[in-house]
Amino acid sequence: MIDVRILTTHDAALFGNVADDVFDEPINPEYLAAFLADPRHHIAVGIEDGVIIGFASGVDYIHPDKPAELWINEVGVAPTHQRRGLGRRILDCLLAHGRSIGCRTAWVLTETGNGPAKALYTSAGGTVDADVDDPDAQPVLFVFQEGL
């Protein structure tokens, strides 16, 4: 049986058992502790026999002129467990958690060529932002790495 739930600070030990190719990088204990201790960072996971086999992470934030939103940061399911509805269960869990803490909307970015991710987000009720049809409103990703 696969348990899907939101993790808390008490769940750090679970990250000692993560299936291959769920996260991009090995778990860093310092980053993990900071993440779990931060009330604005959230992670929903799928656990089978004590092993994390999928996750969706997000951050809730607020702005002086806007209500709380949930930014979905990363989603991943072990290749051994894909196409079985697990990504959807985990994402639904994270979205429900976002609603429970007062987020009115959630958003996520993905690559145009990532068919599985687009299918997942559509399945969970997401719609492509209306502005995407306006060539002047296409999202452009800038990164700032030097000097930070």
Chain contacts with ligand COA (rule: CB under 6 A):
75-77, 82-88, 110, 114-117, 119-120, 123
Q: Which is nearer to ligand COA, 58 or 76 (CB)?
A: 76
**What is the closest distance, in whole angstroms, from the C-beta atom of residue 119 to ligand COA in the complex?**
3
**What is the closest distance, in whole angstroms, from the C-beta atom of residue 10 to ligand COA in the complex?**
25
For residues 87-104, one letter each, b for 16 or more C-beta atoms within 10 angstroms of the residue's C-beta and e for the rest, the string is bbbbbbbbbebbeeeebe
**What is the closest distance, in whole angstroms, from the C-beta atom of residue 110 to ligand COA in the complex?**
4
Q: Which is nearer to ligand COA, 74 or 131 (CB)?
A: 74
User: Using CB atoms within 10 A of its CB, is residue 124 exposed (0-12), middle (13-18) or buried (19+)?
Assistant: buried
Q: Which is nearer to ligand COA, 33 or 119 (CB)?
A: 119
Q: How many CA atoms lie within 13 A of 101 on its CB side?
A: 19
**What is the closest distance, in whole angstroms, from the C-beta atom of residue 81 to ligand COA in the complex?**
6
Q: Which is nearer to ligand COA, 26 or 147 (CB)?
A: 26
**What is the closest distance, in whole angstroms, from the C-beta atom of residue 111 to ligand COA in the complex?**
7
Q: Which is nearer to ligand COA, 3 or 102 (CB)?
A: 3
48 beta partners: 2, 51
C-alpha distance from residue 99 to each of 28, 75, 117, 140, 148 (Å) = 29, 18, 21, 28, 33
Query: What does the DSSP 8-state code read for residue 101?
Result: T
